[in-house]
A and B are shown apart, each in its own frame.
Chain A
Amino acid sequence: AQRVTQPEKLLSVFKGAPVELKCNYSYSGSPELFWYVQYSRQRLQLLLRHISRESIKGFTADLNKGETSFHLKKPFAQEEDSAMYYCAFGGSNYQLIWGAGTKLIIKP
């Protein structure tokens, strides 16, 4: 079955420390992977997608097909990165399959 796993419900790191939000997927085809972010009292919005291979707000994510992972990384966390992060992938039927989300807290 198609599934996205985000193993951490909560991740707390100090400002300036590296951040890695984990995402694993189960899908036999070529997935289209996304990271979405939801800041407090704001709408869910796209952070980045694996196709574009760009860095947004200092975040990057590399698709590792061997490990079926798409972990989100940032070398130096900032307080404004505190938010809810969701990993999702697009399967074959135009829907997105969502992970349960990771709440990231950046401590000052």
Chain B
Amino acid sequence: DVKVTQSSRYLVKRTGEKVFLECVQDMDHENMFWYRQDPGLGLRLIYFSYDVKMKEKGDIPEGYSVSREKKERFSLILESASTNQTSMYLCASRSFTRGDNEQFFGPGTRLTVL
């Protein structure tokens, strides 16, 4: 059973703070993803990673960066948090070797920036 975990369920930060969101998966998946989930907008891809130390920008990368130093861990960094980054953040992973596009999700981190 695939497990994707995220470091926090709820997080409250102040404008200008540097924020780290961590995601860990235990199924040796090559691909990992970070999404924002906002009402009426669905899931928007922030960044994804094909494999260790590889990263690609998604649809809304501005204001974010990522790090993938180990295969199981994918971190999302908000360099200087702003109120418009208040959102639900979802991490997902996918097996490249399995050959299909199914993604497995973490429980999400609800970030509030004050």
Please give the residue numbers on chain A whose beta carbons come within 8 Å of chain B beta carbons, in ascending order. 6, 9, 32, 34, 42-46, 49, 51, 86, 88, 90, 94-96, 98-101
Contact = CB atoms under 8 A, between A and B. Distances in A.
Contacts of B31: 94
A88 B105 CA distance: 14
B100 A95 contact: no
Contact of B96 (A42, A86, A94): A94
Contact of A98 (B40, B43, B100, B106): B43
Contacts of A44: 43, 90, 92, 105, 108
Given A32-B100, A86-B43, A94-B31, A43 B50 contact: no
A49 B42 contact: no
Interface string B46-62: 00101000000010000
A99 B42 contact: yes
A42 B102 CA distance: 18
B92 to A, nearest CB: 8
* Interface size class of chain B, counting residues whose CB lies under 8 Å from the partner chain: 20 to 34
Contacts of B84: none
Contacts of A94: 31, 50, 94, 96, 101
B41 A100 contact: yes
Interface string B90-114: 1010101000111101111000000
Given A94-B50, A95-B48, A96-B101, A86 B106 contact: no
Nearest to A89: B101
Contacts of B94: 94
Given A32-B100, A95-B45, 17 more contacts: A6-B42, A9-B40, A32-B101, A34-B102, A42-B107, A43-B105, A43-B108, A44-B108, A45-B105, A49-B100, A90-B100, A94-B31, A94-B96, A94-B101, A96-B101, A98-B44, A101-B40
